[in-house]
């Protein structure tokens, strides 16, 4: 029987075994959600402390309860390790490793490449590999597809490669399975397999992109949309302060318009793992086409400068009140990038 038909049957009968590589905010959440659907689920992470915590029934992210972890570990539907040996028993491999920026703000995909090299130590025939990490358009094909093709795997026939960007929203009231899912594959068969799999997991709609590049760009656009609008409201807030206009009232009134407006709010600069990073992935990639994204560069610059603006405003307020900054104690309320 063809590998794809075997895999489809396993997915539909919930007999496919799933392995998540990278157990951070995305990977651990994804692993527990899949395991709760009845799939035998493995988790791999190079951080020994994380593996120890999970095996002892503890959770290090707010969106996964310790009760859930204890239940899944006890029932043996969820198993975690630092060893890639778990890959041998998996039918579906989901990569959710970090794609950080280096010290020069350049995207670093070493964790992804390292994961692929570890996978190549095992027989991958008949397996579906899904990348969930945020990457540049073309990365699934260039980093995963070309590497596996180079060692002789026939993509779409004996191995299947897909991209499905994560849409986990930490601290949100929206349940994971209620968030629509985007899927794509390097071939039509790859796309069909990942679509069938996530239709078994996600209760919301599953949308199939025409290519992995389209899905990769979609993920970047989603976070870029937020950064651009956040940076816009920062500038409006600064202007309103100079003009003695209450920006909060302006936003509340603008919200009453039932079309063409989405509210964003001023702050000390957007943080977190995505908003400051993902637009830089796009800026870096666009240089390949000798195209400068001035608008995005400006948005990134504004966001980067906001902490310094807030710092200077604090000094200004202290000076007006005759208070020495050196001897002041400053309380920061709300130190996370969002409510969790």
User: Active-site residue numbers?
Assistant: 274
Residues 6+ apart with CB under 8 A from 31: 18, 20, 23, 41, 43, 78
Candidates 209, 111, 104; CA nearest to 162 is 209
Residue indicated by tokens 């651009």: 228
User: H-helix or E-strand containing 283?
Assistant: helix 278-286
Q: How far apart (Å, rounded) are the C-alpha atoms in residues 282 and 152? A: 31
**Helix axis angle, 25-36 to 66-74, nearest 10°:** 50
DSSP code, position 145 = I
Strand partners, 207: 182
Per the structure block, which two tokens stand in for 305? Answer: 């400068």
Q: How far apart (Å, rounded) are the C-alpha atoms in residues 72 and 74? A: 6
Residues 6+ apart with CB under 8 A from 253: none
182: helix, strand or coil: strand
DSSP code, position 287 = G
> Across the beta sheet with 41-44, what order do the strands follow?
78-81, 41-44, 18-21, 92-95, 128-131, 160-163, 181-185, 206-208
User: H-helix or E-strand containing 183?
Assistant: strand 181-185
Candidates 37, 62, 50; CA nearest to 199 is 37
Per the structure block, which two tokens stand in for 111? Answer: 């964790």
């Amino acid at each position: 029987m063809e590998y794809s038909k075997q895999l489809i049957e396993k997915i539909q009968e919930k007999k496919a075994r799933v392995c998540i590589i990278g157990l951070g905010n995305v990977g651990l959440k994804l692993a527990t959600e899949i395991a709760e659907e009845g799939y035998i689920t493995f988790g791999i992470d190079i951080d020994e402390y994380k593996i120890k915590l999970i095996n002892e029934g503890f959770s290090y992210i707010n969106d996964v309860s310790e009760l859930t972890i204890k239940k899944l570990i006890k029932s043996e539907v969820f198993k975690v390790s630092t060893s890639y040996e778990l890959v041998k028993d998996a039918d579906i491999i989901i990569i959710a490793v970090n794609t950080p920026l280096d010290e020069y703000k350049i995207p670093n995909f070493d964790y992804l490449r390292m994961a692929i090299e570890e996978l190549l130590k095992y027989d991958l025939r008949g397996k579906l590999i899904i990348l969930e990490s945020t990457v540049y358009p073309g990365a699934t094909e260039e980093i995963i597809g070309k590497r596996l093709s180079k060692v002789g795997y026939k993509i779409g026939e004996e191995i299947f490669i897909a991209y499905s960007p994560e849409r986990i929203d930490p601290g949100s009231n929206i349940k994971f399975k209620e968030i629509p899912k985007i899927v794509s594959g390097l071939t039509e068969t790859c796309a069909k397999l990942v679509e069938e799999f996530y239709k078994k997991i996600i209760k919301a709609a599953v949308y199939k992109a025409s290519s992995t590049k389209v899905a990769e760009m979609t993920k970047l656009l989603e976070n870029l949309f937020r950064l651009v609008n956040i940076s816009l409201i920062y500038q409006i807030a600064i202007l309103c302060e100079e003009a003695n206009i209450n920006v909060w009232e302006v936003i509340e009134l603008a919200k009453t318009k039932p079309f063409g407006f989405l509210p964003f709010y001023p702050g000390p600069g957007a943080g977190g793992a995505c908003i400051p990073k993902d637009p830089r992935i796009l800026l870096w990639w666009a240089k390949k086409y000798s195209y400068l994204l001035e608008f995005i560069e400006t948005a990134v610059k504004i966001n980067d400068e906001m902490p310094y603006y807030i710092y200077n405003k604090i000094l200004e307020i202290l000076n007006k009140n005759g208070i020495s900054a050196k001897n002041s104690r400053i309380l920061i309320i709300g130190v996370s990038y969002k409510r969790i």
